[in-house]
Amino acid sequence: MDYRTKIADWPEDDRPREKLITLGADALSDAELLAIILRIGIQNRSAVDLARYILQQCGGFRGIDKMDVRDMTALKGIGVAKAAQIKAAIAIGKRLARQDSETRNLITSSQDIFDLFHLKYRDLKREKFSIVFLTSRNKIIAEKVLFEGSVTESMVSIREVIREILANGAASVIFLHNHPSGEVSPSKADYAITEKLVAACKAVEINVLDHVIIGDGVYYSFADDQLI
């Protein structure tokens, strides 16, 4: 194919937007989809050429997801506006994936928790500790990030955890945090805080179903290892 600077000069069947309208989004390559978001290219580069360059430099869409707007503007041809458009589109995709999972709403295993939350947590640069609040039938009421930073006994306030659980009217909870390293083996601090949380919840008759650690495409479940 002859990639000319202006996509408007291409045969209509080769233009990404027209291909999407005619054939659907699944018929387009990653570069073509990104080109639609970019809308225009730069000198001597069509939007598709620019999209290919961005994907190559960033390591695909997941690489883009890990970057912030400032990182992206370091790429030739990407200003704040283009970077914001791309980040917004990726965020929409992640939220759609969450909504698809949330339609199930019923938690039956650690895999359900991983499927529901891994896109949100897997590429974070800092640890975040969250609670998933559940009904007596294990339906999700809400999920809330409570603490950010290394998960330690000094950082995670047991009192605040209990207050949040009671305020949400939860019958059961699942604790959740990420390991930015991508490795999910629990640390000594993870074991210690889990033990304290389970004991505190038991004292107020709240059932702790699990504590799940999310890494890079993998997870660890305290319940699966019969530690809860």
Domain contains 188: yes
Over residues 176-197, the mean pLDDT reads 93
C-beta separation of 146 from 127 below 8 A? no
Domain interval for residue 199:
106-221
The 10s digit of each residue's pLDDT in 134-172 is 999 999 999 999 988 776 656 788 999 999 999 999 999
pTM of the model: 0.60
C-beta separation of 116 from 109 below 8 A? no
Length of the chain: 228
Sheet holding 172-178, edge to edge: 140-148, 128-134, 172-178, 207-214, 219-221
181 in the same domain as 119: yes
Q: Is residue 10 exposed (0-12), middle (13-18) or buried (19+ Cβ within 10 Å)?
A: middle
Tally of structural domains, the chain: 2
Domain contains 210: yes
The 10s digit of each residue's pLDDT in 1-60 is 444 445 555 654 568 888 888 888 888 889 899 998 888 888 778 888 889 999 999 888
Number of H helices, E strands in the chain: 9, 5
172-178 and 207-214: which strand pairing? parallel
Domain contains 57: yes
Q: Is residue 27 exposed (0-12), middle (13-18) or buried (19+ Cβ within 10 Å)?
A: exposed
Identify the bridge partners of residue 42 per DSSP, sorted by sequence position. Answer: 45
